[in-house]
Chains A and B, each alone.
Chain A
């Protein structure tokens, strides 16, 4: 729901990283976004196309790499993937503990990884 604000941040970060460099335009922006976040990739691209008009990032493609939610079981050390909606009922596939203790290894990423520029 806050795709617009997130998109503004992406554009700002991208433009800051090409400032003062010999770049004629940004072609691709590579993002890593965790599955636990609720961002809609399609909306981000729409907003981006709108916000980036007239900047070096105009027409840039956002390449979104979704990062799965990975939990670590604190009881036996196993790592395993779950979907967002399985989280509240997750069970460790290794030890099957009834009162598990999980730590999240990945799934909350929100990162601008790199830019492809010409």
Chain B
């Protein structure tokens, strides 16, 4: 009978993805392209928010979009119909994007003619939080109909994001949604989280959020 031996490993399961994500960030710096990763549950308003953000940015920044969709082209077609350069990644059954998928997406866009790219990640508050996409900044949307208790259920997502967009505030009057409680819970998980209240539909609050985007992209592009 052979004796059991121990082999030390101590390797992070996400190490390969993180290394690739860091490589992507270096490349984005060289290419002078700001990359924002946008995450949320299905239907919280990612596509609508992307469209209203790009329209609010106007001629200040040339923005492209990477669309992740489990198995359809619906969102990519909607975005492309607005004349925005868009690439569709088919994620098959995947529940999130990782750095290698985003790398393929970036390769499909004409980065020479873009100042920024927004990733619409797969609709899901769990898995995308665990995979670094190589983005410069991470943002999430929580929409009012989903409820103010989501930081308690999905703490990791709230802790990895730089920005929280509280969308569909036009629903506030119909919902028992406690904005102050949401803020407190989210900031407890992530004290530096920037919170914007928006309605992608009516356009309320979009200017302030677009200002943040302009400022962060500008800081990145001039650094």
Q: Residues of A with Cβ closer than 8 Å to B?
A: 1-2, 5-6, 9-10, 13-14, 17-18, 21, 23-24, 27, 36-38, 84-85, 87-90, 100-102, 104, 108, 110-118
Contacts and interface: CB of A to CB of B under 8 A. Distances in A.
17 contacts: A2-B95, A9-B14, A21-B7, A24-B2, A85-B152, A85-B155, A87-B152, A87-B189, A88-B151, A88-B152, A102-B191, A111-B12, A111-B13, A114-B6, A116-B7, A117-B7, A118-B3
Nearest to B126: A38
Contact of B6 (A21, A87, A104, A116): A116
Contacts of A6: 13
B13 A13 contact: yes
B185 A89 contact: yes
Given A38-B126, A90-B188, A102-B188, A114 B8 contact: yes
Nearest to B14: A110
Interface of B: 2-14, 16, 94-96, 98, 124, 126-127, 130-131, 151-153, 155-156, 158-159, 185-186, 188-189, 191
B13 A88 contact: no
B2 A118 contact: yes
A1 B156 contact: no
A112 B12 CA distance: 6
